[in-house]
Structure 1
Amino acid sequence: MEWLNELGSWAWARHHNELSWYIRPLFLLPFAYFSYRRSRWGIALTLVALATSMAWFPAPEHPTPGALEMLASEREYLLGEWTPAKIAIGLLVPLMLGGLAAALWRRSLIWALVAINGGGLFKIAWTFVVSDTNGAVQHLYPAAAGLIVVDVVLLFMWRRRRVAHVVASTAGDHR
């Protein structure tokens, strides 16, 4: 059990590296791709990568005050008493990911964007509830940047796919 505590402390120290905060939302892109391609293995591997990504970067020598505050609030929240309301909030992440996977499995960009943006905006709002303003604002930048990048890439890829489909259909009509 001691090694598990040491592993947790090691990973938590690395989670203070804000680079991991910027890349985590980007995992929605391969998750979306594999959901669209209906690849259960790809979805599973993306979830493993997402779960471990907080420990991919070295622990910062001097974490920012905002990162310290945000992660202290997050730790306190996670280690505190788990009420029914807290359990319901905790289930929102798997529900959002399930909704995103189902939407793309069924080829619905609109519902995919609803799932992604609803989940992302909830996470941003949640940080303002559990953390002070400094910690929440520190989290806001990577979360908002990630949402924007994911939305733009999904919209671009969807548009590109639709244009290619129209071109292919038009080319078939002119034979």
Structure 2
Amino acid sequence: MLRKYDKALAVFFAFCSLGLLIALVLNRDLLDWAFARHQNQLSWYIRPLFIIPFCYFAFKRSFAGIFFTLLCIFSSMFWFPEPSTVDAKVQEFLQYELNYLTGDWGIPKVLLTLIVPVSLTLLAVAFWYRNIWFGMSIMAFIAIGKIAWSIIFAGESGKSIIIPAIIGFVICLVTIKFGMKKIRGVK
């Protein structure tokens, strides 16, 4: 039954994501509130895990599932309460990210930022067409890219992303590899 409404639901979830993005861009208080809650590192650990359902829904060719997962990724930064204490490196890194997002946008910054949707699109395409190894390579690129961007641009505080990114990547790889063996008999 959901297959019948897949594209309509995908459009709905895409508009929800776009609405959330616009709300965060236009309302600085909302953005500050979200980033204060994003200091809770549980959101750092949960976000990479959404790659698992993202890949699953791409494998199942469900646009609605893919776009619902993207909405979850966007909104998960503020699912958890604001922590009572925050590591100084975490706070410094998130301040860098906030400044990056709210600062001036030129062509180089736009092109660099476009790597995120392009890599997610490639990841979805890889699983859509059942190219598991290409998909896992894209996952590695995403994890390494996030770590590299964080350290190159945010300096020492960017290292605070290393453990959540690696743990998320390893869990994703193991889960997807195990899932593919179960579902498709992929070796």
TM-score range, shorter chain: 0.7 to 0.9
**Separation of aligned partners in 2, 1:80 and 1:60:** 26
1:137 match: 159
Asked if 1 retains the 8 angstrom alpha-carbon contact of 2:35 and 2:98, the reply is: no
Asked if 2 retains the 8 angstrom alpha-carbon contact of 1:14 and 1:54, the reply is: yes
**Separation of aligned partners in 2, 1:85 and 1:65:** 29
Instruction: Report the AA paired with residue 145 of structure 1.
Output: I
Higher relative contact order (CA 8 A, sep 6+): 1
Aligned mate of 1:28, from 32, 37, 51: 51
Give secondary structure in 2 for the equivalent of 1:132: helix
The number of aligned residues is 163
CA RMSD of aligned residues (A): 1.8
Identity %: 36
Asked if 1 retains the 8 angstrom alpha-carbon contact of 2:96 and 2:154, the reply is: yes
Consecutive unaligned residues in structure 1, runs of 5 or more? 167-175
1:153 match: 175
Asked if 2 retains the 8 angstrom alpha-carbon contact of 1:74 and 1:130, the reply is: no
1:124 match: 147
Instruction: Report the AA paired with residue 18 of structure 1.
Output: Q
**Separation of aligned partners in 2, 1:162 and 1:62:** 45
Q: How do residues 33-112 of structure 1 correspond to structure 2 at under 5 angstroms?
A: 33-112=56-135
4+ residue segments displaced more than 6 Å: none
Instruction: Report the AA paired with residue 158 of structure 2.
Output: A
Residue 132 (structure 1) shift: 2.4
Instruction: Report the AA paired with residue 109 of structure 1.
Output: I
**Separation of aligned partners in 2, 1:48 and 1:65:** 29
